[in-house]
Each structure stands twice: as C-alpha cells, then as structure tokens.
Structure 1
C-alpha cells in the first residue's frame, strides 16, 4: 500500500467520525469542514463581511474535479467555490468556500 493509499484510508476514517455532509453537483459528499474565517472585503459602496472556510474531501468521492465558481450546499446554505487545491496523487482535495454573493 502506498503512502497516498494509507492517507486515503486514514482520511476515510476521520470523515466517518467527524465528516459533515455537503452537496456538490447533486451528490452528497462527506467533508471535513474548517472553522469559518470572518473578514471584511472592500467593495463599491463600502465594506461587506466575507466568510471563508475549507471543505476537504476524498478525491475518489468526487465525480469530477471541482472548479472555481461552482456551488456547494452545506448547512442549509449555498457557497461558491473560491479556490481548489488539487495536488495529484494526494488523496485529499481542498475546496475554499465563500458566500455566493459577497
């Protein structure tokens, strides 16, 4: 078993115990959700609060690699994928999520 396979197996166990369900392209995925980070973003007309957090999922659970701009549903709200960290052959893909409309 390679190190990447071992990491995938260990991360699967973590997801079983601590994972939260997110909805991506109509599919339920187990994800490890980080604590939300609140910051302010300067926009035309003033400042707006910006919430960002990450969702870590198993690559093997994804129907396709997510892209920035796609929508993820979690905790009864929609969030936009702001960035995707994908480092093959690592088993974990990290999605940076933020509000749909900041």
Structure 2
C-alpha cells in the first residue's frame, strides 16, 4: 500500500508544479483512465459468470484470489541489496 500512496503523493506534487507553471499534463485524460478501469473489471466478468453457473467455491474466496491480484496488481517485493564485499568485482573493458 505504501508504494501506491507514495506514487499518489508524487503525482500530486508534479500536478501542483505543472499547475504553477501553466503546463498541461502529458497524462491521459480521466475518461481514458476510467475506460482502463472498465477493461480491468470487465475481464473479471466471464470467469465470474462461469463460476456462478458451475456453482464452485464461494465468490468471496474467488474475489480475493482472482480479482484483487489482477485488478490491483502484485505489490513489488524487493530484495535487500548485496553488500559491496559480497558482489563480484566488476570487469573493466579496455576501450
């Protein structure tokens, strides 16, 4: 959740700067973003319908396992950086 909030804060800051210097944002218009949201949600309807027709496991579990990861994406899980002593020496090319 933290990366999403940081991304939102950075976007707001850039938007304020753009507003102060009277520059239009290169971001797509809101209607395009709403369309993208519709695509993400619409992709979930056929599998949901198939599940309802076949009366498989509970819908709540399906939403948590299928919809959330696809619509909201997987949060990044980074690795700790290696120490400089553990890293292999870098090769220098003779150019």
Fold-level match, TM-score > 0.5?
Answer: no
After TM superposition, the score normalised by the length of structure 1 is: 0.25
Higher CA-based Rg? 2
Tell me which protein shows more strand as a share of its residues.
Answer: 1
After TM superposition, the score normalised by the length of structure 2 is: 0.26
Tell me which protein shows more helix as a share of its residues.
Answer: 2
